[in-house]
Structure 1
């Protein structure tokens, strides 16, 4: 945990000086007053400045990014992590070369890492954080693949009038297919089975 001491003519000034050195806002630190200011004799002799200690509190997203870099390093990968704040989540984009190992087959390794990253982030946060982990724009590419698959399977179901059961998918991926075929005049979708083998069924209405 990073700590530093700062001084100033008043407690407020000492805190501001410390925050400036740390480069953070006041909500990121715990402040302990070490010494109150005093004017001294005749307001001059023996005057003492206020002295405070600032302890930098952990940030959930920063801790998650650090964890991610450590995991990548253990896998022999050199990566950087960029943060994007969305309306209801925080996206951590992993940049680097040879990220296929980090993504895994159909994103399975990426999904597992996302689960762990969320645990780390929320352990160091006083509010619930929802982190989406991405690498090489895999999430967007996977979304387009699943949407194309759902439309192709819908055409087959309409032609054969027989339902199709897709491979097991994560809840995130199932939502993409449900959303794509929602409101289709001839098709309905539902999920069956238990995690992690829960599957989408595309059936005629």
Structure 2
């Protein structure tokens, strides 16, 4: 964290001097008043300058974008990052050539990178963020695939009148399956196993 100490006749002047030296704005810093200063007699005798310490605060979202750029560059990929913030949820959409490398088989590479990014952003930020990492609309296509799979496997469970276990998948994908089948009559779902092999079981009632 970059920080400097500055002084001025008033706290505001000291802060402004620090901002100019850091070449930044007030919303990007933390300000600590070391000495409020003293005007002195007639504004001259016994006067003391105000002293402040101003620290440049890292923007967790920008730092996370920078991290993603470094990771993808090491994979020999040139990606464009589009960031959407909704409250405390951040979606990073990656676009570029050879994006399939970043997605991996059934999204495994993308899921692993999403996990890392979730750690990175919350290590920097004082607030807790949830993260979605997408690549050229893969998440939407994957959701459609999972919804179709859920209905197909539910029909199979009812037809055979026995439990059907799906392949292991991350929690946010299991949630899609649970949601799709929640209102389907004659079917119940539950998760079984330990991570990273936790999977959904579809059971006829």
- TM-score category (smaller protein): 0.7 to 0.9
Q: Is the 8 A contact 2:11 2:36 kept in 1?
A: yes
**Cα distance in structure 1, aligned partners of 2:17 and 2:190:** 58
The aligned runs of 1:138-157 (5 Å cut-off) are 138-157=138-157
Taking structure 2 as the reference length, what is the TM-score of the superposition? 0.81
How much does 1:173 deviate? 0.7
Deviation at 1:123, TM superposition (A): 1.4
Distance change in 2, residues 1:147/1:82 (3 Å): same
Aligned to 1:83: 83
Q: C-alpha separation between the residues in 1 aligned to 2:131 and 2:35?
A: 41
In the other structure, the counterpart of 2:70 is 70
- 1:61 lines up with 2:61 in the alignment: yes
* Residue range with higher mean Cα deviation, 176-185 or 115-124: 115-124
Give unpaired runs (5+ residues) of structure 2. none
**What is the match of residue 109 of structure 1?**
109
Give, in angstroms, the shift of residue 81 of structure 1.
2.0
Distance 1:37 1:88, change over 3 A: closer
Where does residue 175 of structure 1 map in the other structure?
A: 175
Q: How far did residue 87 of structure 1 move?
A: 3.9
When the two structures are aligned, how many residues end up with a matched partner? 202
Q: Deviations over 1:84-135 (max 9, x none)?
A: 1124411122222211111111111111111111211121122222222111
- 1:128 lines up with 2:137 in the alignment: no
| CA 1:54–1:96: 2 relative to 1, 3 Å | farther
- Structure 2: how far apart are the matches of 1:137 and 1:13? 49
Shift of 1:55: 2.8
C-alpha distance in 2, partners of 1:5/1:94?
Answer: 40
Instruction: State the SS of the aligned residue for 1:203.
Output: strand
Shift in alpha-carbon separation, 1:7–1:60, aligned structure 2, 3 A: same
Q: Which consecutive unaligned segments of at least 5 residues does structure 1 have?
A: none
- Measured in 2, the distance between the counterparts of 1:88 and 1:41 equals 51
